[in-house]
Every structure is written in C-alpha cells, then in structure tokens.
C-alpha cells in the first residue's frame, strides 16, 4: 500500500511553519552562494595554498569537484541526522530492502527524461540561441571528457541535488502541504537553482518526476539512480548536440513520452509492495 508522504517525516507539531519554510529554502541559497563564490574566487586567481600542493595549482574541474564533495558531505550530515529522515530509510544498505526492479525502472525514467530533454533543447535552440549559449557557458569550465568531470556531473551532483532538494526541501515542505503542492514547490525551487532559462524548464519537469518517484517508492536512492542516468547521458549529448536530427529527436520524444507514462504506471503499481 502506498505510504502517505507525511509518514516520511516527523510530525508537523515538532516544528513551526516558519521553521519548515526557512529550512526548505536554505539548501538552494547555500548552493547558490557557494557556486557563486567558487566562480568569483576562481576568476580572481584565488587558491587555497595548502591544497595547491596536492592539486598542482588545480584545474577548475578539480576545484569544482572538491567544492561539490564538501557540499555533499554537509547536506548528507544534515539529511542523515535531520528530522526529515526520522521515518524514511535512506536505503540501499540492506539486501532485504533493496528493490532492483524499482531501481531499474528509476534508471529507465532518467533515460526517457533525457530523451525528452534533447528534443526540447534542440527546439529551443532554433528560436532562442541566447538560451542555448547560456546553458553551455555555465559548465564550460568543467572538463566533461575527464574521469573527474564525469564523476562530478554524473555522480556527485545527482547525489548532492537529490539530498538537498528531494531529501531536505521536499521533506520540510511535506510537513506543511499535501503532496502535490509540496512537489510543485520543490520542483520550482530546483528549477530556479539551475538559473539559466533553458535549464529551468526541463529542471522543473525532471524535479517534479523525482519528487513523484520519491513519494511513490519512499526511497531517495531511486531518485538518485534516475538523476545519475539523466546526467550521465547528458555528457556525450552535450558534446555532439549539433549532429542530432531535430525531426528524429522529436519522434523519439513522442515515443519516450508514452514509455515514460508506462514506467510511471508500473512504479505506482509495484512501488508500495514490500520487499
């Protein structure tokens, strides 16, 4: 039987409305300011001297990875010991609790969302090239062809963003609001966090699906799996986007939309069953 989203969190009585709202929006402000400071100090040539010895001056990718790792550790501790996790098992550590079927369906969801996003980006680039340029400029310093770059974009960022936005933002909002309202708000915050107009649209859709997945499976690891697949497939796509056929990608998008609906129906049907 499907769990009520409120069962994933502590009682509303334990926290005031103001406390829940402030804690829900804290992750996005921390990340916003963190990334801004990283970019600002990098442009000014700022380096931590004791780290430069190990990183030989450090490329932007290395520093980006170090900052993402530090933020991941911070949010993981917050989530692990915070009130949003008291009744929600982070999962994946017990073989009995592991649901390979849900994990596979979650990964397929990430793949299908990526196919829809490719068509959206190609369509958007035709009528507004500025959106397209801003999208690439945001990550131009990260070497996507290196193991470190792939690790940051496909592993660290999905972990960081799922814990921050689904684990914390959605967790606190769910104390106050019904699922649909909490999910829409956390998706909106997730979209604003991505800042560029091109990313905000598909981040809102993807964030909504991740929140839905968290609600129907009760496991954050499923959202992480879907997000990792989504980001990983973006790495080769972003490098060869100019070679994609717009007509063919739109056909794939329509097919993917129907397949995504089917995957959601399967997850909803089996997601509440006990392992």
Q: CA 224 to CA 210: how far, in whole Å?
A: 9
Q: Which two tokens stand for residue 178?
A: 């019904």
Q: Buried b vs exposed e over 205-220: b needs ≥16 C-beta within 10 Å?
A: ebbbbbbbbbbbbbbb
pLDDT at 267: 92
Question: Secondary structure of the chain in the HEC alphabet?
Answer: CCCCHHHHCCCHHHCCHHHHHHHHHHHHHHHHHHHHHHHHHHHCCCCCHHHHHHHCCCCHHHHHHHHHHHHHHHHHHHHHHCHHHCCCCCCCCCCCCCCHHHHHHHHHHHHHHHHHHHHHHHHHHHHCHHHHHHHHHCCCCCCCCCHHHHHHHHHHHHHHHHHHHHHHHHHHHCCCCCHHHHHHHHHHHHHHHHCCHHHHHHHHHHHHHHHHHHHHHCCHHHHHHHHHHHHHHHHHHHHCHHHCCHHHHHHHHHHHHHHHHHHHHHHHHHCCCCC
C-alpha distances in Å from residue 13, one per residue of 10, 17, 176: 8, 9, 10
pLDDT at 92: 42
Check if the beta carbon of residue 184 is closer than 8 Å to that of residue 97: no
Q: Tens-of-pLDDT digits for all 275 residues of the chain?
A: 444 554 454 444 566 787 788 888 888 888 877 777 766 665 555 444 445 444 444 577 787 888 889 999 999 888 888 766 655 544 444 555 678 889 999 999 999 999 998 888 888 777 666 666 666 666 666 666 678 888 888 999 999 999 999 999 998 898 888 999 999 999 999 999 987 788 888 899 999 999 999 998 888 899 999 999 998 887 766 666 667 788 888 899 999 999 999 999 999 888 754 43
Q: Which two tokens stand for residue 90?
A: 């982070």
Each domain of the chain, given as residue ranges in start order, spans 5-270
pLDDT at 91: 43
């Amino acid at each position: 039987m499907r769990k009520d989203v409120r069962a994933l969190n502590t009682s509303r009585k334990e926290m005031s409305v103001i406390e829940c709202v402030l804690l829900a929006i804290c992750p996005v402000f921390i990340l916003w300011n963190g990334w801004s400071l990283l970019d600002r100090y990098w442009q000014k040539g700022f380096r931590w001297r004791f780290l430069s010895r190990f990183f030989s001056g450090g490329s932007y990718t290395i520093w980006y990875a170090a900052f993402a790792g530090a933020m991941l550790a911070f949010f993981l501790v917050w989530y692990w010991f915070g009130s949003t996790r008291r009744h929600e098992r982070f999962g994946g550590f017990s073989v009995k609790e592991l649901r390979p079927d849900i994990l596979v369906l979650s990964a397929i969801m990430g793949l299908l969302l990526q196919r829809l996003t490719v068509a959206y980006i190609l369509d958007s680039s035709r009528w507004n090239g500025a959106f397209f340029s801003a999208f690439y400029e945001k990550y131009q310093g990260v070497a996507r062809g290196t193991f470190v770059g792939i690790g940051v974009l496909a592993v660290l960022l999905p972990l960081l963003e799922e814990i921050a936005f689904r684990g914390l933002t959605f967790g606190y909002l769910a104390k106050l609001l019904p699922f649909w309202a909490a999910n829409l708000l956390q998706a909106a915050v997730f979209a604003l966090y991505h800042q560029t107009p091109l990313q905000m649209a598909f981040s809102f859709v993807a964030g909504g699906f991740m929140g839905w997945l968290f609600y129907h499976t009760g496991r954050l690891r499923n959202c992480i799996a879907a997000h990792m697949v989504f980001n990983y497939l973006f790495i080769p796509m972003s490098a060869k986007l100019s070679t994609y056929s717009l007509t063919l990608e739109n056909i794939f998008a329509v097919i993917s939309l129907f397949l995504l609906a089917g995957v959601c129906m399967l997850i909803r049907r089996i997601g509440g069953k006990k392992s």
